Structure 1
Amino acid sequence: MKYLFFLIITGVAIASCNSAAESSSKNLEALLKDSSKFTSIQWQDTAIDFGAKKMGEVVNITFTCKNTGDKPLYLITVRPSCGCTVADYTKEPIAPGKEGKIDAQFDTKKSHPGDVRKTIFITANNSNRAPQFLAFTGTILADSSANK
């Protein structure tokens, strides 16, 4: 009986979490369709060169954006171009005049030696409807002669 109660409570909790996430996702998608909610975004850097790193290192890259409009800015989608990069980002609304961040981690073990160029695709409620792309480049050295 205790196990049945636990399973029911767990199922309700999971369903409510999925429902909240679904609702939040629909609200953010609605922002993309409502031009009265559009704002403008300015990136401090759209391309970063991390230099030379040896194979096996994890490279941390931070992109900073500023809300230069008069409505809250929402970073709706932040999607790295491949599985060698993971990204975390400001999920709360970014007030006008304030900054948000995208923190990316690039795992060189999941890439290859040589020159690399990786991108991160961003969707936001910005008035310039063109997709936002951020890029980082560098060189992965197969030996331990990388400059740190």
Structure 2
Amino acid sequence: MTVSGFVFSQEAPLKFTEKVQKFGKVDEGKDVVLKYTFMNEGQEPILINEAKVNCTCTVVDYPEAPVSPNKVGQVTVTFHTESKIGYQERKIQLVTNLGTSEIVFKGVVKASQETKKEYKSNQ
């Protein structure tokens, strides 16, 4: 008899007003700050234990205390645009005591004058 084991991560009962946010166009070097508001639609308090990001340019602040059922919480994401040129898309995985949830942001970072000059001088 062969038994295969799979681990499925359960979606956390976080209901976001917007899971995907677009920040439009910003100048390189400016910080983009996005706020994600959510409601705990579960039956027990939810605690965000970790926010996984794929770039050190993204900083995530989330509630340290559990959010009770039917209560609202907020996650704040700061994206540092220095040296990030062109279309940008970042996914953030929120790991909670009740599963995981993902939020996303996207937009375009316009090169600064300094970056443009540097690029031209290297051509």
Please identify the structure whose Cα radius of gyration is greater: 1
Distance 2:53 2:74 in 1: 14
Task: Tell me which of the two structures has the higher relative contact order, counting C-alpha pairs closer than 8 angstroms and 6 or more residues apart.
Answer: 2
CA-atom RMSD in angstroms: 1.6
Q: List runs of 5+ in structure 1 lacking aligned partners.
A: 1-38
- 1:1-148 alignment runs, 5 A limit: 40-109=13-82, 111-126=83-98, 129=99, 131-143=100-112
Match of 2:118 in 1: none
**8 Å contact from structure 1 (residues 81, 121) kept in 2:** no
Distance 1:106 1:58 in 2: 6
Identity %: 26
Counterpart residue type for residue 19 of structure 2: T
More helix by share: 1
Moved over 3 A (4+): none
TM-score, with length taken from structure 2:
0.75
Distance 1:42 1:61 in 2: 17
TM-score, with length taken from structure 1:
0.64
More strand by share: 2
What's the offset of the Cα at 1:76?
A: 1.4
Distance 2:33 2:18 in 1: 15
Q: List runs of 5+ in structure 2 lacking aligned partners.
A: 1-11, 114-123
52 and 58 in structure 1: CA distance in 2 versus 1, 3 angstrom threshold:
same
What's the offset of the Cα at 1:143?
A: 4.3
